[in-house]
């Protein structure tokens, strides 16, 4: 009886030992699997946090596009207020739009990189996918705004081109009209000067006779002769006087008379100091005779 019992105990002991070894191996495997699971969970958490940080960074970069003088909203507001763009303003607007497009392109590239990284890492979280879709929507909206802004700049630039052409045409018209007015003014001035200018000469009887400007006529036996203009004006030295600007002729003598047939009421002779002044009272009547001959005594 003892021997079979001993054999049975040995068999049970071996079986128990084998079971213990198996359980120990399973326990070690479970610990390794658990450690691997923890490592995977940690890696997933880190990827998730990194993805969240990257999404936040992309969102901030997109929001920065609409902040300050460089933003799409600011530029859109300014363009709406513009009725036309100068060449410099148009170039400035295009440069700002180009900078905004570069910012949006960089954000788009970051979104693609993030999406690819998540796919490669096997991280699939509904919340992350929703955030990424939101980023793509934001980028699409800003790209649409860029298209609108570019079209607005082109429209305003076209208006500038049209206005510039109109201004140039207007300037040409103004220049032509100015030249016409100047020509007409000069013609009017020439005509006015011709009408208002008289020519006078002052001299003694001897000098005027020598110049063949006057002659003595009538009288009896050399007495009572009247001095009259000969009508011969060639070669005589006359001084021009614009009666619209000057109405006084200075006569260097204390006695004188007007030999030419000026209307008597159109002028007067006044002694001023030691010389006479011929003062024109009615310029229109006075200049009906263009050549004035004044004889001093």
Residue 183 maps to a domain: no
Of these ranges, 185-189, 220-224, 274-278, the one predicted with the greatest mean pLDDT is 274-278
**Core vs surface per residue 130-139: b (16+ CB within 10 A) or e:** ebbeebeebb
Count of residues for the chain? Answer: 297
pLDDT digits (tens, 9 = 90+) for 80-89: 555 555 666 6
| Integer-rounded Cα radius of gyration of the chain | 57
Domain total of the chain: 2
Return the pLDDT at 67. 42
**Alpha-carbon distance values, 72 to 38, 111, 273 (Å):** 46, 20, 87
Helix locations, the chain, DSSP H:
2-65, 72-81, 87-121, 126-196, 205-210, 283-286
C-alpha span between 146 and 125 (Å, rounded): 32
C-alpha 174/C-alpha 166 separation (Å) is: 12
Per-residue pLDDT band for 112 (boundaries 50, 70, 90) equals confident
**168 in a domain, yes or no?**
yes
> Do 246 and 132 belong together in one domain?
no
End of a domain among 131, 149, 176?
176
85 contacts 164 by C-beta, under 8 angstroms: no
Q: Same domain for 248 and 114?
A: no
> Residue 69's pLDDT band (boundaries 50, 70, 90)?
very low
Same domain, 166 and 215: no
* pLDDT single digits (tens) 29-52: 766 665 665 655 565 566 666 667
Residue 243: DSSP 8-state = T
Q: Are 233 and 247 in contact (CB under 8 A)?
A: no
- 161 with 216, same domain: the answer is no
Instruction: Find the domain containing 231 and state its range.
Output: 211-296
Same domain assignment for residues 44 and 142: yes
Q: Are residues 43 and 144 in the same domain?
A: yes
At 268 the three-state DSSP class reads strand
pLDDT for 47: 63
> Taking residues 120-128, what's their average pLDDT?
66
Question: Residues 57, 140: one domain?
Answer: yes
* Contact indicator for 200, 249 with CB cutoff of 8 Å: yes
CB atoms within 10 A of CB 29: 10
Asked whether residue 163 is assigned to any structural domain, the reply reads yes
Q: Show the CA angle centred on residue 205, arms to residues 204 and 206, nearest 5°.
A: 90
**Rounded CA gap, 240 and 163, in Å?**
52
Q: What are phi and psi of 274, to 5 degrees?
A: -105, 20
Any residues with CB less than 8 A from the CB of 184 and at least 6 apart, and which? none
If one counts every other C-beta atom within 10 angstroms of the C-beta of residue 154, the result is 13
Give 257's contacts (C-beta < 8 A, 6+ positions apart). 269, 294, 295, 297
In a domain, 156, yes or no: yes
User: Is 201 among the domain residues?
Assistant: no
Cβ atoms of 79 and 73 within 8 Å: the answer is no
């Amino acid at each position: 009886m003892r021997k079979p019992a001993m054999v049975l105990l040995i068999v049970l002991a071996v079986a128990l030992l084998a079971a213990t070894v198996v359980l120990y191996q399973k326990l070690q495997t479970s610990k390794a699997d658990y450690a691997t699971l923890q490592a995977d969970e940690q890696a997933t958490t880190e990827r998730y946090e990194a993805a969240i940080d990257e999404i936040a960074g992309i969102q901030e970069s997109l929001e920065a596009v609409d902040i300050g003088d460089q933003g799409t909203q600011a530029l859109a507001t300014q363009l709406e207020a513009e009725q036309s763009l100068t060449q410099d303003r148009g170039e400035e607007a295009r440069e700002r739009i180009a900078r905004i497009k570069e910012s949006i392109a960089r954000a788009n590239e970051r979104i693609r990189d993030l999406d690819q990284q998540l796919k490669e890492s096997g991280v699939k979280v509904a919340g992350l996918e929703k955030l990424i879709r939101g980023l793509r929507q934001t980028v699409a909206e800003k790209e649409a705004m860029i298209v609108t802004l570019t079209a607005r700049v082109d429209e305003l630039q076209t208006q500038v081109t049209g206005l510039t052409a109109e201004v140039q045409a207007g300037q040409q018209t103004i220049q032509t009209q100015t030249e016409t007015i100047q020509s007409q003014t000069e013609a009017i001035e020439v005509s006015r000067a011709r009408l208002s200018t008289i020519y006078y000469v002052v001299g003694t009887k001897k000098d005027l006779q020598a110049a063949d400007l006057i002659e003595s006529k009538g009288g009896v036996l050399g007495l009572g002769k009247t001095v009259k203009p000969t009508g011969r004006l060639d070669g005589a030295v006359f001084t021009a006087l614009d009666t619209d600007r000057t109405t006084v002729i200075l006569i260097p003598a204390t006695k004188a008379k007007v030999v030419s047939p000026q209307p008597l009421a159109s002028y007067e002779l006044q002694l001023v100091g030691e010389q006479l002044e011929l003062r024109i009272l009615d310029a229109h009547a006075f200049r009906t005779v263009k050549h004035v001959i004044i004889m001093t005594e």
